[in-house]
C-alpha cells in the first residue's frame, strides 16, 4: 500500500474575469482576476502513490478517464513528482460534484483538489501560496480555489509570483449566487482554445486587459464596503466585455445560447423592479445570478416559468481546499 491523501476543493466564479494567457505553458495570465468560491459545487480527489503501478491510473467519476484527461493529469502529477524527488506512479480517484467542462469551473475545483491531495500523498507540505502556484499549472482558475470567499489571483510575471491571495475569506454579509444550469454538456469551444483565439485575433483584447486591471481595485473596494450593487455592476461589466472579445475574434464564436439571453432578460427585468440582482458568465452558456438570500425567493419565482427547479442551484460563499 502506498501513500494516500484525499482533498476537497470548491469551484469559484470570477467576478473580474481571467481571460487570456501571457505564458501558456506556465499559465501566467494577461490580467489579474477576482472570484467568489462557492459551497454548492466541489470535487473530491484521492491520490495514492504506489510502487506496484506501472503507469498513472486516473478514475474520473467512477470511470477510467479519456486519453486526453489521462495525459493532462499525468503531466500535472509529473510536477508533483519533480518537487517531491520521486518517480512513483499514482492512482487518482476524482468525483466531480460539478457539471464537467460546461462553464461552471469544474477544472478549478478539480486541479485544486488534485494539487492538495497529490502533494500531500507525495510527502510535500506546501503552504497555501505554493499550493496555489501548483494548482495554477493545471488550470488557471484553480489557483483561486485554494482559498475560500473572495480571492484575488495576482497575475505576476513568472511562476514564482503568479498566485492567489485571499481578499475576504470569512464573509459576514449577505451575498450568494443562483447558478442557472442551461446546459451541462461539454462546451463546443474549450476555454483554453477560446482564450488563445481571442488573444491572437481580437482587436478589442488590449482594451479588455486594461479595463480588467482598472476594475479589480474597484471590486475590492466594493467588497470592503459590502456594496452588492457595485459588486454586481462590475461583475456584469467584466462578463459582458469578456464575451464581447469572443464575438470580435477571427473567426467569431460565442458561448451564448438562446436560454442564456432569456436568463439575462429575466435578471434585467427584476432589476428594473428594484431587485438587487446581477448576472455573470464564464466560458459557457450557464448564467450565475449575484444576489442576496433575502431576495432569492423572488428571483427563483421569476425564473421558474423558464427553467426547471433542477436547473436553479443556490450557492453560498464556500471554503478553501480541505483535507478529508
Helix ranges (DSSP H) in the chain: 67-84, 106-121, 128-136, 191-201, 205-224, 228-247, 258-272, 296-303
Q: pLDDT value at position 191?
A: 85
* pLDDT score for 243: 97
Distances (CA, A) of 150 to 98, 112, 269, 320: 20, 16, 27, 10
pLDDT value, residue 17 = 97
Using the predicted structure, report yes or no on whether residue 312 has a pLDDT greater than 60. Answer: yes
Stretch 199-208: mean pLDDT:
96
Domains plus CATH for the chain? Answer: 3-170 (3.30.230.10), 176-315 (3.30.70.890)
Mean pLDDT of 113-129: 97
Range 133-157 average pLDDT: 97
Question: Pairing state of beta strands 21-23 and 57-60?
Answer: unpaired
State the pLDDT at residue 102: 47
Average pLDDT on 158-175 reads 97
Give the percent of the chain with pLDDT over 70: 96
Distance CA 195, CA 140 (A): 12
Q: How many Å apart are CA 166 and CA 201, to the nearest integer?
A: 33
**Separation between Cα atoms, residue 88 and residue 81, nearest integer Å:** 8
Are the CB atoms for 152 and 32 separated by under 8 Å?
yes
| Confidence check: pLDDT of 291 > 90 | yes
> Quick check: 31 pLDDT over 50?
yes
* Mean pLDDT lowest among 103-112, 211-220, 257-266: 103-112
Q: What is the mean pLDDT of the chain?
A: 94
Say which residue the cell 455592476 belongs to.
233
Looking at residue 188, its pLDDT comes to 80
| Ramachandran class of 291: left when φ > 0, alpha when ψ lies in -120 to 50, beta otherwise | beta
pLDDT above 70: residue 103: no
* Joined grid coordinates for residue 159: 511562476
> Following DSSP, what letter does each residue of 134-148 receive, concatenated?
HHHTT-GGGGTTTS-
Identify the residue with better confidence: 228 or 310. 228
Amino acid at each position: 500500500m502506498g501513500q494516500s491523501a484525499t482533498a476537497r476543493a470548491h469551484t469559484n466564479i470570477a467576478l473580474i474575469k481571467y481571460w487570456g494567457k501571457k505564458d501558456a505553458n506556465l499559465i501566467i495570465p494577461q490580467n489579474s482576476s477576482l472570484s467568489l468560491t462557492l459551497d454548492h459545487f466541489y470535487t473530491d480527489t484521492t491520490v495514492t502513490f504506489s510502487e506496484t503501478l506501472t503507469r498513472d491510473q486516473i478514475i474520473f467519476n467512477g470511470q477510467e478517464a479519456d486519453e486526453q484527461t489521462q495525459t493532462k493529469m499525468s503531466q500535472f502529477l509529473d510536477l508533483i513528482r519533480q518537487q517531491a524527488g520521486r518517480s512513483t506512479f499514482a492512482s487518482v480517484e476524482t468525483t466531480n460534484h460539478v457539471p464537467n467542462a460546461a462553464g461552471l469551473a469544474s477544472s478549478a475545483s478539480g486541479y485544486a483538489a488534485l494539487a492538495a491531495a497529490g502533494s500531500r500523498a507525495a510527502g510535500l507540505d506546501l503552504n497555501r501560496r505554493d499550493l496555489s502556484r501548483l494548482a495554477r499549472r493545471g488550470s488557471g482558475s484553480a489557483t483561486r480555489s485554494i482559498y475560500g470567499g473572495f480571492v484575488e489571483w495576482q497575475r505576476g510575471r513568472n511562476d514564482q509570483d503568479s498566485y492567489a491571495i485571499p481578499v475576504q475569506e470569512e464573509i459576514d454579509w449577505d451575498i450568494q449566487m443562483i447558478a442557472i444550469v442551461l446546459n451541462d454538456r461539454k462546451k463546443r469551444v474549450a476555454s483554453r482554445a477560446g482564450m488563445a483565439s481571442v488573444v491572437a485575433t481580437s482587436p478589442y483584447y488590449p482594451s479588455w486587459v486594461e479595463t480588467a486591471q482598472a476594475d479589480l481595485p474597484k471590486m475590492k473596494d466594493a467588497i470592503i464596503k459590502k456594496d452588492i450593487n457595485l459588486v454586481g455592476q462590475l461583475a456584469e461589466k467584466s462578463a459582458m466585455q469578456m464575451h464581447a472579445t469572443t464575438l470580435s475574434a477571427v473567426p467569431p464564436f460565442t458561448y451564448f445560447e438562446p436560454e442564456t439571453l432569456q436568463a439575462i432578460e429575466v435578471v434585467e427585468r427584476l432589476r428594473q423592479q428594484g431587485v438587487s440582482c446581477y448576472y455573470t458568465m464564464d466560458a459557457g452558456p450557464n448564467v450565475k445570478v449575484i444576489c442576496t438570500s433575502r431576495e432569492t425567493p423572488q428571483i427563483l419565482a421569476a425564473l421558474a416559468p423558464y427553467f426547471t427547479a433542477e436547473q436553479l442551484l443556490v450557492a453560498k460563499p464556500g471554503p478553501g481546499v480541505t483535507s478529508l
